[in-house]
C-alpha cells in the first residue's frame, strides 16, 4: 500500500509539474526613461558610468529598470509565478498553465501593459528563443597535484609574463556566473582575496538571497573561481589574483529549465550596472528535461536562444563575455552551445597539457555565424582548488574558460583604453593558428604577452592624423583622404599583431580599398608616402 501511495503522489507531482509552462512576458514601456537617462547615477553605479563613458557606450532605455508596478500587478494574476526579470528585454520570466499565461493578454489590467508573450515550449510558441542547456560537467577530481603542474596552464598562453610585468588583474572587475560557491568566505585559499577587499559581493538569483556560500548543492563555482583568484603561498596562484570579483548563482542544479537563462540575463544586467568588465560563465544551454523546451543544433546560430540574445546586449553594453565551449565534443550534441554560440562571446575550448585537442571539448559548426570555438586553453587536467582547500585536478571547458578569462583580465589591465571588441580581437589574433582556424581549436592557443607587446609596437608608429580614413567602422569600401602634396600612396593592411593581409596602391582618383572579404574585427592600415608613414586602426563590421 505504501508503494502504491508513493506512485500516486509521484504521478500527481508529474501532472502538476508538466502542466506548468514557462514564458517570457514583455512589457510595453518603462517609467521615467528620459529622467533616468539624464541622471544615470540613479540607475547605474559610478564605475559602470565611467566604464561606459571610457569606451563610448551609450546609456539608453535598456539600462532603466523594469516597471515594478507592472510586476506587482502580475504577482496578483491567477496561477502566475514570476521567476526572473530583465531590464534589457523589459520582460519577466513567468511560470503557470498555458491558459493562465495566455489570459494575461486579454485580462485587465495586464493586457494594458503587456506587449507580447513568448512561450519556452516550442509546441506553443513559434518563437525560437527557447533553449536547451547543459552545464559543463566535471570529470573525476584527482588530488595530490602540486603547483608545478598548475604552472603549465598559465604559461601556455604566457599569462605569467603579464604577471612579471605587474599586470595581475588590478582594477579589472570579473563577475562569475555559476552554480555555487561553498566555503569561499572561509577558505584559506581565498584569504588574500578577502583581506584585500577584492571579493566584492554576491547574489543567488535562484533562491533570491545573498547566500552564495552555503545555499547550494554545487561546488562548481568555487572550483571555477579558484583558477582565477585562488592563492596559496608558494603552491598556487590563479591567473588574475588581483582582480575584483562578484559571485552570482544563476544555475539551478535541481532543475533543467529555461528560467536559468533568465537568471543569467538578470545577473548580467546587474553586472553591467555595477561596472563589471568581464563575465565568466562555465555553463552552456542546449537541451532541457522537458524536451519541448530544448534547442536543436540549428538554433545555435548566435541569435536564437534567450541567453544568447542577452549576451549580445551585454556585449553592446561594453562587457567582455568569456564562456566555456561545452563538453559535448564526443557526445551526440557535439557543437558549441548557448550563449557561447554568439559572435560577441569568446568561447573557450579545451586542450590537454601539451596543447592537443581534448576529445570532450565542443566543436564549431557551419551553423554558427562566426568561428567557434574562438580559442582554447588547458581544460584537461586543469589544476584548481576544491572547497576543502585541497589542490586538485579536474577536466572540462568549465576550467579552460576561467583560466583564460583571468589572463584576459591581466591583458585588459595592461591595455586599459581598449574596448571589449578590441581585446577580443587581440586575443584571437595572438593565437597559434589564427590564419588557419578549425572547428576543434578555433584560432588556437593565445599568446597574451605577444598580444600586449605587438600592440605597443604598432601603437608607437602612429604619427599625426593628416591622413584620414572613412567610414570607420566600415562594411565594404574604406576611403582614404590623400594630402595635396601626394599623388600615390602605398597602403598595407594587417591584423593587430602586424601580420600582413594585403597591400595596394591608391591615388586621388581611386582612393578606396575593398575590405569586404575581411572578417569582422579590428585591423591596422599602414599608409606610406614619400615623406612619412602613418598607422591607423579601422573596424570591419
**pLDDT digits over 361-379, tens only?**
999 999 998 999 999 999 9
Q: What is the 8-class DSSP label of residue 334? A: -
Tell me the C-alpha distance between 230 and 232, whole Å: 7
Residue 89 — very low, low, confident or very high, per pLDDT cuts 50/70/90? very high
> What contacts 137, CB < 8 A, 6 or more positions away?
327, 396, 398
Q: Is the pLDDT of residue 12 over 60?
A: no
> What contacts 17, CB < 8 A, 6 or more positions away?
none
- Mean pLDDT across 436-465: 78
Which residues carry out catalysis?
A: 178, 220, 398
Q: For 284-338, what is each residue's pLDDT tens digit? A: 999 999 999 999 999 999 999 999 999 999 999 999 999 999 999 999 999 999 9
Q: For 72-84, what is each residue's pLDDT tens digit? A: 999 999 999 999 9
Q: Options 3.30.450, 3.40.50, 2.60.40, 2.40.10; which CATH number does 469-540 get?
A: 2.60.40
Q: For 243-253, what is each residue's pLDDT tens digit? A: 999 999 999 98
Tell me the C-alpha distance between 187 and 202, whole Å: 16
- Is 147-457 in CATH node 3.40.50.200? yes
Tell me the C-alpha distance between 510 and 353, whole Å: 51
pLDDT of 463 reads 40
pLDDT of 200 reads 97
pLDDT of 149 reads 78
- What CATH code is assigned to 18-119? 3.30.70
Q: What is the 8-class DSSP label of residue 63? A: G
Residues paired with 238 in a beta bridge:
none
Helices marked H in 104-214 — which ranges?
147-155, 159-164, 191-195
Q: Is the pLDDT of residue 459 over 70?
A: no
pLDDT of 490 reads 85
Asked if 469 contacts 478 with a C-beta cutoff of 8 angstroms, the reply is: yes
- Collapsing DSSP to helix, strand or coil, 522 comes out as strand
By DSSP bridging, strand 320-324 and strand 345-351 are parallel
The percentage of the chain sitting over the pLDDT mark of 70, rounded to a whole number, equals: 88
Report cis status (omega within 30 of 0) of the bond before 307.
no
By DSSP bridging, strand 236-237 and strand 231-232 are antiparallel
For 318, left (φ over 0), alpha (ψ -120 to 50), or beta?
A: left
Tell me the C-alpha distance between 380 and 469, whole Å: 45
- Mean pLDDT across 444-449: 96
Residue 131 — very low, low, confident or very high, per pLDDT cuts 50/70/90? very low
Residues paired with 184 in a beta bridge:
none
Tell me the C-alpha distance between 259 and 119, whole Å: 11
Helices marked H in 62-211 — which ranges?
68-74, 98-103, 147-155, 159-164, 191-195
Find the distance separating the first CA and the last CA of the chain, reported in whole Å. Answer: 68
| Backbone φ and ψ of 199, nearest 5° | -90, 95
The percentage of the chain sitting over the pLDDT mark of 90, rounded to a whole number, equals: 71
- Higher confidence at residue 527 or residue 371? 371
Tell me the pLDDT of the chain averaged across its residues. 88
Tell me the C-alpha distance between 239 and 384, whole Å: 11
- Mean pLDDT across 167-175: 95
Specify the range with the lowest mean pLDDT, choosing from 164-168, 221-225, 270-274: 164-168
The three three-digit cell numbers of residue 262, written as one number: 533568465
Q: Is the pLDDT of residue 352 over 90?
A: yes
Q: Domain residues of the chain, as ranges?
A: 18-119, 147-457, 469-540
Asked if 52 contacts 317 with a C-beta cutoff of 8 angstroms, the reply is: yes
pTM: 0.79
Specify the range with the lowest mean pLDDT, choosing from 221-225, 333-337, 477-481: 477-481
pLDDT of 175 reads 98
Amino acid at each position: 500500500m505504501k508503494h502504491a501511495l508513493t506512485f500516486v503522489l509521484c504521478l500527481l507531482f508529474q501532472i502538476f509539474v508538466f502542466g506548468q509552462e514557462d514564458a517570457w512576458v514583455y512589457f510595453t514601456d518603462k517609467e521615467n526613461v528620459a529622467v533616468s537617462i539624464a541622471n544615470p547615477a540613479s540607475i547605474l553605479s559610478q564605475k559602470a558610468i565611467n566604464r561606459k563613458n571610457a569606451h563610448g557606450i551609450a546609456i539608453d532605455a535598456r539600462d532603466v529598470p523594469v516597471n515594478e508596478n507592472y510586476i506587482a500587478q502580475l504577482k496578483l494574476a491567477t496561477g502566475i509565478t514570476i521567476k526572473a526579470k530583465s531590464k534589457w528585454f523589459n520582460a519577466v520570466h513567468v511560470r503557470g498553465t498555458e491558459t493562465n499565461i495566455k489570459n494575461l493578454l486579454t485580462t485587465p489590467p495586464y493586457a494594458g501593459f503587456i506587449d507580447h508573450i513568448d512561450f519556452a515550449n516550442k509546441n506553443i510558441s513559434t518563437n525560437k528563443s527557447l533553449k536547451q542547456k547543459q552545464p559543463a560537467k566535471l570529470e573525476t577530481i584527482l588530488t595530490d597535484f602540486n603547483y608545478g603542474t598548475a604552472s603549465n596552464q598559465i604559461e601556455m598562453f604566457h599569462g605569467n609574463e603579464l604577471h612579471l610585468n605587474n599586470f595581475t588583474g588590478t582594477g579589472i572587475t570579473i563577475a562569475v556566473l555559476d552554480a555555487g560557491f561553498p566555503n569561499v568566505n572561509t577558505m584559506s585559499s581565498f584569504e588574500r582575496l578577502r583581506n584585500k577587499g577584492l571579493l566584492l559581493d554576491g547574489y543567488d538569483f535562484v533562491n533570491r538571497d545573498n547566500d552564495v556560500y552555503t545555499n547550494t548543492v554545487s561546488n562548481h563555482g568555487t572550483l571555477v573561481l579558484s583558477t582565477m583568484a585562488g592563492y596559496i603561498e608558494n603552491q598556487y596562484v590563479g591567473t588574475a589574483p588581483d582582480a575584483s570579483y562578484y559571485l552570482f548563482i544563476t544555475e539551478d542544479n535541481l532543475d533543467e529549465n529555461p528560467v536559468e537563462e533568465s537568471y543569467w540575463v538578470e545577473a548580467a544586467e546587474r553586472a553591467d550596472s555595477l561596472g563589471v568588465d568581464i563575465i565568466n560563465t562555465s555553463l552552456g544551454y542546449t537541451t532541457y528535461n522537458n524536451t519541448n523546451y530544448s534547442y536543436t543544433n540549428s538554433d545555435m546560430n548566435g541569435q536564437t536562444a534567450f541567453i544568447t540574445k542577452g549576451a549580445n546586449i551585454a556585449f553592446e553594453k561594453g562587457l567582455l563575455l568569456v564562456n566555456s565551449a561545452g563538453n559535448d565534443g564526443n557526445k551526440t550534441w557535439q557543437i558549441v552551445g548557448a550563449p557561447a554560440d554568439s559572435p560577441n562571446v569568446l568561447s573557450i575550448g579545451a586542450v590537454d597539457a601539451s596543447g592537443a585537442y581534448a576529445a570532450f571539448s565542443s566543436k564549431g559548426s557551419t551553423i554558427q555565424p562566426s568561428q567557434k570555438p574562438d580559442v582554447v586553453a588547458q581544460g584537461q587536467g586543469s589544476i584548481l582548488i576544491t572547497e576543502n582547500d585541497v589542490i586538485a585536478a579536474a577536466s572540462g571547458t568549465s576550467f579552460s574558460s576561467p583560466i583564460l578569462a583571468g589572463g584576459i583580465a591581466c591583458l585588459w589591465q595592461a591595455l586599459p583604453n581598449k574596448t571589449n571588441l578590441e581585446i577580443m580581437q587581440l586575443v584571437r589574433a595572438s593565437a597559434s593558428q589564427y590564419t588557419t582556424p578549425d572547428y576543434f581549436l578555433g584560432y588556437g592557443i593565445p599568446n597574451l604577452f605577444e598580444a600586449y607587446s605587438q600592440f605597443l609596437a604598432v601603437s608607437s608608429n602612429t604619427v599625426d592624423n593628416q591622413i584620414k580614413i572613412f567610414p570607420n567602422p566600415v562594411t565594404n569600401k574604406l576611403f582614404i583622404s590623400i594630402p595635396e602634396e601626394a599623388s600615390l600612396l602605398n597602403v598595407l593592411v594587417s591584423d593587430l599583431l602586424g601580420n600582413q593581409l594585403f597591400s595596394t596602391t591608391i591615388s586621388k582618383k581611386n582612393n578606396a580599398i575593398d575590405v569586404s572579404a575581411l572578417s569582422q574585427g579590428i585591423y591596422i592600415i599602414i599608409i606610406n608616402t614619400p615623406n612619412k608613414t602613418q598607422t591607423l586602426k579601422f573596424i570591419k563590421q
